A and B are shown apart, each in its own frame.
Chain A
Amino acid sequence: MVGKERMLTALQRREPDRVPVWEMAFNEESIIKLGAFFTDDLPPMKLVQKMTVEEKIKLLNTLFTVVRELELDGITSITLLGTEPLDEEHVKDGWGRILRISEEGEATAVGGPLSGPSDLRSIEPYHPQQTDFLMLLAAKGALGDDYAQVLVQPGPFRESWSLLGSMEKLLYYYVKAPGFVKDLARLVTDYILEVVDMAVDLGADIIALDGDLAFSQTTLMSPAQYEEYVFPFHCEITEHVHRRGKLIVKHSDGNMWPIMEGIVEAGFDGFHPVQPQCMDIGEVKARYGDRLCILGNIDCMHLLPFGSEEEVEEKVKETIRVAAPGGGYILSSSNSIHPGCRPENYLAMVKAARKYGNYPISVED
């Protein structure tokens, strides 16, 4: 089996030849540190927004080298909306969102083109352009058809709040202006469907719908609010992806238990990353393993940054024992390989997956 087949088989809850290994995201620093194990031709250590075009290409090539050398089964691309720099720490994207860039993670919207219900009509929707998918095109070109091409796209909740520049603002309107919340979700869902179409046309196999819906304690909204403001749009997006013959995964950190039933009902093929501090992967497997592929769960909060390689191996072994039998499990960290993760621990994670992840799974208690 090649990686793509392995990923698609697992997502359809069948057993591939071995547990697929994939990662939703690597930061610049992690790519460069991992790349150093395999090549000397590395870009300088800085944020992608501050790199020259040549440096960005080198960063992508380093990522492709890591994927190839570690024989990962898929590669994740993000849309790169053209941005214009505002100052050292902020850029503005095609929607007019102001994003704060950070060494520790992805850029986050801190200001939006929308202030509230009064100016929704005046917003000019952004339409995706092929140049937004340069990373996907480059990944497809470099790695060919043997690797699953995953495109990460923020879901309707995240796209909505980022247009307001603040999650709290959107959650305030959940109570105060339900009509506005739905109109806004409609606007961004139309955009997401356009992104899906273009991504599929350009070679994406899997869509990962990003945007946390929960935090460590519980979901960001009540189950009733999820059902009213998010669920219908999730259904629409999964149906659209399936109509195009592709698969879709929902990503959310945090304790998603209150709305897990909705995530399954909405038609997602997989759920990532089952944050181990908040959700027990065995319980997720027992309750939803027959309807949902599970992705992730290898702790990147404490284990990958501070644990030993032996501890990582032990955790991978245990997770495979619990989640992999019968298929429907893709191994990855519990969020991303961020700069705090020890590169040696990531390598140990991949190695352990190969050691214990061969089907039929025979890991002892």
Chain B
Amino acid sequence: MSELLERLKQAVMAGEEEEAASLVREALEGGLEPREIMDKALMPAMEEIGERFSRNEAFIPELIVAASAMEKGMEELKPVLSGEDKGRGLVILGTVYGDIHSIGKNLVRMCLEGAGFEVLDIGEDVRTERFVEAYREHRPDILGLSALLSSTMQRMPEVIQAVRAEDPSAVIMVGGAPVTQEFADRIGASGYAPNAFEAAVKAKELVAGKSR
């Protein structure tokens, strides 16, 4: 079985969607638990491609096809995953109002999903009220805010304030090209990461800290 999981991991890393789906079916038929398939093949595959990406050994196209293969594998798993198994937690992601850039946020989504998070992407150019509504409705473990422009980055403190008025303990991560750790600290964000892969690492730390 470990050989099958290794093949599945390789298929995801290579972005082979059909192969990944078929190997997941094979693993399930062979009696493997869905959780084990995720933990031992799908997530390690995304983690490895993410690490290569953060070392500039893999590029966005490789990350995109791997995420797509992981998604196809997950489609096979979802119907049999137990109701309580919510993975690592729920993250709501969005780019702040005035900013229509999506790729940075989408890379973070792929890395978070690869790390086992459920991600609700509420898109780009998201008004502060919409972040609050989405937070109220879904009570995510983490809210992630993205901005590419130094002008739109200024919206982040407003969103943090509004969401914390709803839930003072809200865990909010910020990121994007102009954002720095210093800026994140100044506006009271719970976490910051300089790239998509490290955002997933940081998110894992934050939910682990929360559950302690």
Q: Which of A's residues lie within 8 Å of B, judged by CB?
A: 100, 102-105, 108, 110, 166-168, 171-172, 174-176, 215-222, 225, 258, 277, 300-302, 305-306, 338-340
Contacts and interface: CB of A to CB of B under 8 A. Distances in A.
B118 to A, nearest CB: 20
Interface string B148-160: 0111101000000
B29 to A, nearest CB: 27
A215 B177 contact: yes
A189 B100 CA distance: 26
Given A108-B101, A172-B68, 8 more contacts: A168-B106, A171-B61, A171-B64, A172-B64, A172-B65, A218-B56, A277-B177, A301-B150
B149 A225 contact: no
Interface in B136-151: 149-151
Contacts of B56: 217-218, 258
A167 B195 contact: no
B65 A175 contact: yes
Contacts of A218: 56, 59
B104 A105 contact: no
B208 interface: no
Interface in B107-127: 125
Contacts of A102: 98-100, 125
Nearest to B176: A216
A175 B62 contact: yes
Interface string B169-191: 00000000110000000000000
A338 B154 CA distance: 14
Contacts of A105: 100, 149
Contacts of B195: 217
Given A176-B15, A222-B59, A301-B150, A168 B177 contact: no
Contact of B103 (A168, A277, A301): A168
Contacts of A300: 150
Contacts of B102: 166, 168
Contacts of A174: 61
Contacts of B81: none
A102 B105 CA distance: 18
Interface of B: 15, 54, 56, 59-62, 64-65, 68, 98-104, 106, 125, 149-152, 154, 177-178, 195
Contacts of B101: 108
Interface residue SS majority, chain B: loop
23 contacts: A100-B100, A102-B98, A102-B99, A103-B98, A104-B99, A104-B152, A168-B103, A171-B64, A175-B65, A215-B177, A217-B54, A217-B195, A218-B56, A220-B60, A220-B103, A222-B59, A222-B62, A258-B56, A277-B177, A300-B150, A301-B150, A302-B150, A340-B151
A338 B102 CA distance: 19
A221 B149 contact: no
Contacts of A171: 60-61, 64
A104 B152 CA distance: 8
B152 A175 contact: no
Contacts of A225: 59, 61
B98 A215 contact: no
A171 B62 CA distance: 9
Given A176-B15, A305-B151, A339-B151, A221 B59 contact: yes
Which of A216, A220, A225, A339 has the most chain B CB atoms inside 10 A of its CB?
A216
A109 to B, nearest CB: 10
Contacts of B150: 300-302, 305-306, 340
B183 to A, nearest CB: 10
A146 B149 CA distance: 34
B14 to A, nearest CB: 9
Contacts of A110: 100
Contacts of A175: 15, 61-62, 64-65
Nearest to B57: A222
Closest 8 CB pairs of A and B: A340-B151, A174-B61, A222-B59, A171-B61, A301-B150, A175-B65, A104-B98, A216-B177
A172 B65 CA distance: 6
Contact of B61 (A217, A222, A339, A340): A222
Contacts of A221: 59-61
Among A108, A217, A225, A339, find the residue whose CB has the most chain B CB atoms closer than 10 A.
A217
Nearest to A173: B61
Contacts of B62: 175, 222
B197 to A, nearest CB: 10
A330 B175 CA distance: 32
Nearest to B68: A172
Nearest to A89: B125
A222 B102 CA distance: 20
Nearest to A254: B177
A97 B62 CA distance: 26
A340 B101 CA distance: 16
A55 to B, nearest CB: 22
B178 A302 contact: yes
Contacts of B59: 218-222, 225
A258 B58 CA distance: 12
Contacts of B15: 175-176
B204 to A, nearest CB: 20
Nearest to B54: A217
